[in-house]
């Protein structure tokens, strides 16, 4: 944690020997979800925030990554392989049983150096997820990304005026 005051001082929240990454603060600012490999595989945990030493709860049960809070903070989502999981949160670090919402080959590129980033998000109304869909090479079972083409239009309004004349 780094203060934004005049003289910022680096203050590590977690000082354990395990890899801990992808922290997400709950909408109410009281909880921090993160991923840790302390069990030997990546799991999702939640702690009080900013007093992280006042308890810890493992949320995922069979692996987890990329935690994401619902906009109202009552639900925590995370990835487990190709599945998106949801867990209801009650008071005092009490969580329900994780439930699978859906599965799909969405991009969470752990093979490259994006593993410390969350590659998905939820809409402000909590009704939709934004995820990158892997594009196959033609084989339905393939999840190999293919090069994508991006068109950049300079002077967009001028181009629009040429294509859609207004009388």
pLDDT, tens digit (0-9, with 9 covering 90-100), for 3-22: 566 666 555 556 667 788 88
Structural domain boundaries enclosing 78: 20-135
In a domain, 46, yes or no: yes
Q: How many domains does the chain have?
A: 1
- The per-residue pLDDT for 111 is 44
In a domain, 114, yes or no: yes
Residue 12: its pLDDT value, please? 58
Q: Is residue 70 part of a domain?
A: yes
Residue 98 lies in a domain: yes
* Residue 154 falls inside a structural domain: no
Task: Tell whether 33 is covered by a domain.
Answer: yes
Domain CATH for 115:
2.120.10.30
Does a structural domain hold residue 89? yes
Contact 35, 18 (CB under 8 A): no
pLDDT digits (tens, 9 = 90+) for 43-75: 999 998 888 888 889 999 999 989 999 999 999
Residue at 155 is within a domain:
no
Handedness of CA 129, 134, 140, 143 (dihedral sign): negative
Ordered alpha helix ranges (H), the chain? 156-163
3-state SS assignment for residue 162: helix
Would you tell me how many other CB atoms lie within 10 Å of the CB of residue 85?
23
Give pLDDT, residue 112.
40
């Amino acid at each position: 944690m780094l203060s934004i005051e005049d003289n910022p001082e680096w203050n590590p929240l977690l000082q354990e020997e395990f890899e801990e990454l992808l922290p997400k603060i709950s909408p109410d600012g009281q909880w921090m979800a993160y991923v840790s490999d302390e069990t030997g595989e990546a799991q999702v945990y939640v702690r009080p925030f900013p007093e992280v030493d006042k308890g810890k709860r493992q949320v995922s049960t069979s692996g987890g990554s990329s935690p994401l809070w619902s906009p109202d903070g009552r639900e925590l989502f995370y990835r487990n392989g190709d599945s998106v999981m949801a867990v209801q949160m009650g008071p005092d670090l009490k969580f329900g049983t994780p439930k699978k919402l859906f599965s799909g080959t969405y991009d969470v590129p752990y093979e490259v150096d994006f593993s410390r980033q969350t590659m998905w998000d939820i809409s402000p109304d909590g009704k939709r997820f934004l995820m990158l869909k892997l594009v196959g090479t033609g084989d339905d079972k393939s999840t190999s990304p293919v090069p994508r083409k991006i068109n950049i239009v300079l002077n967009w309004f001028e181009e629009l005026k040429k294509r859609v004349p207004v009388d």
